[in-house]
């Protein structure tokens, strides 16, 4: 989940990375979403931050967090969680 604030929008720079990884591993194993933290109470703690936050969930539980746009770390985290 790309958690973002309305004033800065979702992180468009990693969309291509997400598409590439999803194409490599298949759509059944991996799902990407964006969530505006201003409108979701459960994401309130991420409000007021200027860095993008990527939240990784498995089985409904938060399993990893990556702060900032770091393509190698995002890819490593995604593949590691799979």
For 53-77, what is each residue's pLDDT tens digit?
888 998 889 999 998 888 899 999 9
Q: Are 59 and 27 in contact (CB under 8 A)?
A: no
pLDDT category of residue 50 using cuts at 50, 70 and 90: low
Nearest-angstrom CA–CA distance, 43 and 53: 11
- Confidence (pTM): 0.73
Could you tell me what percent of the chain has a pLDDT over 70? 94
Do 37 and 46 contact (CB within 8 A), yes or no? yes
């Amino acid at each position: 989940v790309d958690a973002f604030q309305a004033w800065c929008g979702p992180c468009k720079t990693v969309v291509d990375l997400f598409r590439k990884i999803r194409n490599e591993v298949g759509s059944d194993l991996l799902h990407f979403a964006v969530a505006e933290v201003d409108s979701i109470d459960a994401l309130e703690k991420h409000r007021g931050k200027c860095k993008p936050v990527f939240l990784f969930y498995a089985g409904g539980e938060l399993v990893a967090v990556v702060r900032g746009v770091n393509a190698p770390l995002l890819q490593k985290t995604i593949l590691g969680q799979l």
